[in-house]
Amino acid sequence: MIDNIKYVGKLVEVQRGRLTKLNITKIHNYGIDIYKRINYNKFIHILQCTTNDNIELNGNRGILNILKLINLTKDIIEISCAYIEIGCKNYQTIWSDCYKIVLKFKENISLVHPIYEKFDVHRNQIIGSKYYLFLIKNNKLYYDWPWGINRLNEHKKKILKLQKDHMLLFSMLIRLISNINNVMFFFGGEQPSINSNIILPLFSFAPKLGTNDMPFPFYEMYDDELKLFNDAYKNNKNFSNEFYNKHHIKWEKRITKAAFYVSYDQTRRLIFDQAVLRPDLYDVAYTFVYGIHHMSSWNMLSDEELLPNINKSTYRNYRNQIGYNQPILQYLGHKSYQPHHYKYIIVPGGSGLLSTSGMIIMI
C-alpha cells in the first residue's frame, strides 16, 4: 500500500504506515527507534509532513515570526526565568526588579525569594504555570536553569516523567532526525500564562490571544496513533482502512447522543445543565473539578453551599432545573468515555479555555 503512492498533479495522497520507511529497529512505550538517523528534509518527505510549519506555529498571533525578529539574549532568558520563578516584586511585573533579582541569584545560587521557603515553579506569580527550560544539544534533551539545575531537584522526577509523557514527541524526534540544531526552549502545561510581551520560544497545549505560546499537540493524539501503528505493524504491517477501523462500531449502531467527558470547569457548566434538561441528547460525565471549593451554582435562587459540603439529603430537589449544583452531581465520576461508540462528541475550545481537545482523535 505504501509503495503505491498516487500523484494527483503536484499533490501526493497521504498514506498510513509511513513510519516503516524509517528503518525501524524497535517500537516501545516511548516511541520508536531506527537503525540510523536521517536528515530533516528526508524525514518530512518520507512522513509527508507539511513544509510550511509557520502556519501552525504562528497561529493568528505571528509568534514564530516575532521570535525571528527578536535577538534572544542571555539577559532575556535570565530575566524571564526570574519572572517565572518568583514574579519579581510583590506579584507585579517590574523588569528592573527582575534584573536585580537575577544578579542576586547569580551571586548566591542557593538564595530563594523571601516569599517562599523553596523554589516552586507551581507557586508563583503566574498562577498555574508549569514552565521548565529545556535544551537540545547534540541530539540529546536536557533540562536547565540559569543559576543551577539544583534549583529543580525536587522537580526532577516530574521533569523526567514529562519527557516520557507530554514531551514524548520531542524525545522521539531527537532519536529519528540527525541534524536538529542546538536549541533552547520553554515547555509549559495545558494553559498558557506567559504574557505576549515576553518573547520566548515557549510551547503549551492551548495557546490563546494575549500569550506568546506556540501550540504543541496533546500527548493523547500521537500516542493513540502510535499504538494503532504498533498494532498494525505486528499484524503483517497491515495499514489498511479495514484493519484500522476494526474496533469501530458501525454508524447505525452507535449511540445517538453527544458525548461530553471532561474535567469540570465553570465555562463548561452550560453543557451539564443542558444534559439535565435533555438527557436524550447528551451523555456527559466529569471526573475532576478545577478549584473544587469554587463550584458554586450560578442560579440566584439557589441556597446550595459550595461543592464539598453538598449533601443530597440536605437540600430541596432541584432536579431538572438549570443553574444549580445538585442536579449535575449525578455526572461526577461515574462513567468513562468509550471511543468510537458515539455518533457525536463535544470538544471544548482549545484557546482561552481548559482544553481536552485531544480526545477528538477518539471519536
- What is the rounded CA–CA span in Å between residue 319 and residue 313? 13
- What is the rounded CA–CA span in Å between residue 117 and residue 155? 15
| Predicted TM-score (pTM) above 0.85 | no
pLDDT at 49: 79
Return the C-alpha cell found at 123.
507557586
pLDDT at 216: 81
Instruction: Tell me: pLDDT of 137 over 70.
Output: yes
Beta bridge partners of 345: 259
- Read off the pLDDT of residues 246-292 as tens digits, 9 standing for 90 and up: 878 889 999 999 999 887 877 788 899 999 999 999 999 987 666 55
Residues in CB range of 170: below 8 A, 6 or more apart: 134, 136, 141, 163
pLDDT at 318: 63
- What is the rounded CA–CA span in Å between residue 308 and residue 52? 49
- Read off the pLDDT of residues 15-67 as tens digits, 9 standing for 90 and up: 788 888 888 777 776 677 777 888 988 888 888 877 666 666 776 667 788 88
CB 233 within 8 Å of CB 222: no
Beta bridge partners of 87: none
Domain boundaries, the chain: 53-220, 247-362
DSSP-derived 3-state class of residue 232:
helix
Return the C-alpha cell found at 83.
519572572
pLDDT at 21: 84
**Average model confidence (pLDDT) across the chain:** 75
CA atoms 29, 35, 40, 46: torsion sign: negative
Cα angle 138, 129, 268 (rounded to 5 degrees) comes to: 125
- Range with the poorest average pLDDT among 6-20, 153-167, 194-208: 6-20
Instruction: Tell me: pLDDT of 110 over 80.
Output: no
At residue 92 the predicted structure's pLDDT band, cuts being 50, 70 and 90, is low
| Phi, then psi, of 34 in degrees rounded to 5 | -125, 165
CB 34 within 8 Å of CB 6: no
pLDDT at 252: 93
